[in-house]
Structure 1
Amino acid sequence: MKLKYLTVQQLIEINKQVVLQVGGTNHGVQSVESLHVVIEQPAQIVFGHELYPTIWLKAAFILQKITKKHVFVDGNKRTALMASLYFVNQNGYQLINNKIVNQAGDFVLSVTNSPDNEETMQQIANWLQEIHKKSPSS
């Protein structure tokens, strides 16, 4: 199955929705360069090998980089979570329990306070994989 990657428009819309959802009005891109890194890097192939070879590492990259690079004016942590969940969902996985989203804030905050490195990314990937299952229709 060919993966469906996030587009710039989808990511901007996710940010807009998460900011509006909490009554905010200050949405939009703060760093165009960082936005393009988040969009392009998960699909990157280097010397014939995917830089992030699993869907979980790709989703972890999205979550980690939006959180760390402050891509948006506001709502970076919420956008990071929702964008990674959307990416995984559009590629055939669903949350085991939708209540996890309510508890995920603490996890995303811990990512924000963790080093921006591969070890943190692997921890994110493991967490994402633990909270998802293959969609029945996939």
Structure 2
Amino acid sequence: MTKAYYWLAIKEVIALQIEVIKDYGGCSGILDEGALESTLYRPQQLAYYEPSSNIYDLTAAYGYGLVKNHCFVDGNKRIGFVVMAVFLLRNGYELIATEIEAVDIMINLAKGNISQNELASWLTRNSVVL
């Protein structure tokens, strides 16, 4: 049996992306709805089919998918980070990385310099239990 997690719904992620764009600029809108749905279900599939996955693995699946799949017209790195932070908060964890560290990890993720597993390790080091 898998642990119960508080997942993000597609409508929530779309609303978050709109807010991120309002706050920091860019164009709102979905570039590929199918990719967005697939990306948001990936952590759930990971939890179900790989029950040894922990909160950081699942969080990394959200961030990695949103950045690499370019689901939105703009702000994919930003929304990837926000979704990771929200998912962690919903599940009793908080990201404690500095803004500089957060920007660095998301840029390196987008450039392909780090893997999903490396992102999960970074999240482990940069999160605390609430």
Does TM-score exceed 0.5, indicating one fold?
yes
TM category (shorter chain) comes to 0.7 to 0.9
Quote the Cα distance in structure 2 between the aligned partners of 1:96 and 1:112.
21
Amino acid at match of 1:18: V
Distance 1:64 1:45, change over 3 A: closer
Percent same amino acid among aligned pairs? Answer: 25
- Number of equivalences: 128
Choose between structure 1 and 2: higher helix proportion: 2
Aligned CA distance change for structure 1 residues 122 and 30 (closer, same or farther; 3 Å): same
Over 6 Å off, 4+ runs: none
Q: Select the residue among 101, 104, 123 that pairs with 1:128.
A: 123
1:54-69 aligned at under 5 Å gives the runs 54-69=54-69
Q: Give, as a single letter, the amino acid of the residue that structure 2 aligns with 1:88.
A: L
Note closer, same or farther for the CA distance 1:20–1:67 as it changes in structure 2 (3 Å cut): same
5+ unaligned residues in a row in structure 1: which ranges? none
Q: Does the CA-based 8 Å contact 2:39-2:66 persist in structure 1?
A: yes
Deviation at 1:106, TM superposition (A): 1.5
User: Deviation per CA, 1:1-54, whole angstroms, max 9, x where unpaired?
Assistant: 620011001110111111111133x202110111111211111169x6337711
Aligned to 2:84: 84
Which runs of structure 2 are paired with 1:1-16 in the superposition (5 Å)? 2-16=4-18
TM-score, normalized by length of structure 2?
Answer: 0.88
Q: 1:114 to 1:51 in 2, by over 3 A?
A: farther
Q: What TM-score, normalized by structure 1, do the two folds share?
A: 0.83
Amino acid at match of 1:111: L
**Structure 2: gaps spanning 5 or more residues:** none
Structure 2 residue aligned with 1:103: 101
Distance 1:45 1:122 in 2: 13
